[in-house]
Amino acid sequence: MRKDIAFRTEDGVTLRGWHYLPDGRAGRVPTIVMAHGFSAVKEMYLDRFAEAFAAAGLGVLVFDNRNFGASDGEPRQEIDPWRQVRDYRDAITFAETLDETDPERIGIWGSSYSGGHVVVVGAIDRRVRCLVSQVPLISGHANARRLIRADRIAAVQAAFAADRRDRMRGAAPAMIPVVAEDPAAVCALPTPDSWRWFTATHEARAPAWRNEVTLRSVEMFMEYEPGAYIAHVSPTPLLLVVALGDHLTVADEALGAYERALHPKQLVCLKGGHFDAYVDGFAEAAGAARDWFARHLLQA
């Protein structure tokens, strides 16, 4: 069963999403809190993951990140990773207020950018009983230097500085495409598979998605270091799902982070690239996450 939900964050922004409950629910159930990655909206396959979790007996709270999709927030299309981290924590608090939620059995799931967020939240919020981080961002700075050619870094940093000066003078934030068909064109996620997945998923499932973010979002991406928290997730159980062919949130960064994590932990390696976790590798990715949550929340 799915119903629409809305809740307000501590700073007064209304976030909207879905609440799933397992069929035949009796009493309070363990609940998973989840949101999407960089610029993506919940219709971009989060329903499929939530349905898989609900079928296993779990409640699921899915929400659109602030400034995106059905959620409120200004400026539109801006991604502040630390605000998104705080929104995860507010979503946990909201989940605790629901009569259907067992507040002692809350898990979190994130993918790509939000895969980094759940590492941070799992390290700092002990209400979280277990977490799944799928194809996660580990280091914004290191990852950006893998995506942006070395001879273009100075120009990107100059654009950040120019945007700051313009905003100081009252101008609207500069915008940049999320993806571009030409991987050499200026965009936030300059890989061919990013272009294919976002455009195809937008057309098939997510008309609310827009191919733009503020330039400041990219600057904040480069400042964000969720991997610094991974050793502090323990003793909360951590499942890391890594796509071995991932060259967007690069696989070697994720594998290195797994080695720094403490137990209890588990690693699942998918054969495909970053976006295969949502499509071709969905059964393996969702099944591993479902089993992890069942082991630590349903059997606890």
Domain span holding position 118: 2-141+225-298
DSSP state of 152: G
User: What pLDDT does 25 receive?
Assistant: 84
pLDDT of residue 19: 98
Does some domain include residue 163? no
The string of pLDDT tens digits covering residues 194-239 is 999 999 999 999 999 999 999 999 999 999 999 999 999 999 999 9
| CATH code, domain with 83 | 3.40.50.1820
User: Model-level pTM?
Assistant: 0.98
* pLDDT tens digits along 68-98: 999 999 999 999 999 999 999 999 999 999 9
pLDDT band at 245 (very low <50, low <70, confident <90, very high): very high
Pairing of strands 14-20, 59-63: antiparallel
Q: Per residue in 32-76, pLDDT tens?
A: 999 999 999 999 999 999 999 999 999 999 999 999 999 999 999
Q: Cis omega before residue 264 (within 30°)?
A: yes
The per-residue b/e assignment along 234-243, b for 16 or more CB within 10 angstroms, e otherwise, is eebbbbbbbb
Rounded mean pLDDT of the chain?
97
Looking at residue 9, its pLDDT comes to: 98
Asked whether residue 199 is assigned to any structural domain, the reply reads no
The three-point CA angle 110-107-33 to 5° equals: 55
Question: Is 212 part of any domain?
Answer: no
Query: What angle do the packed helices 81-97 and 113-124 form, to 10 degrees?
Result: 60
Residue 243 resides in a domain: yes
Binning pLDDT at 50, 70 and 90, where does residue 187 land? very high
Q: Judge whether residue 5 has pLDDT over 70.
A: yes
The answer to the question of residue 20 being in a domain is yes
Query: Is a pLDDT exceeding 70 seen at residue 300?
Result: no
Within-domain flag for 167: no
User: Are residues 249 and 115 in contact, defined by beta-carbon separation less than 8 angstroms?
Assistant: yes
Note whether residue 188 is domain-resident.
Answer: no
What total of structural domains would you count in the chain? 1
Domain assignment present for residue 260? The answer is yes
Residue 298 banded pLDDT, cuts 50, 70, 90 = very high
Q: How far apart are CA 259 and CA 150, in angstroms?
A: 28
Q: Band of the pLDDT at 184, cuts 50, 70, 90?
A: confident
Quote the CA–CA distance of 160 and 163 in Å, as a whole number: 5
- pLDDT, one tens digit per residue, over 148-176 is 999 999 999 999 999 999 999 999 999 99
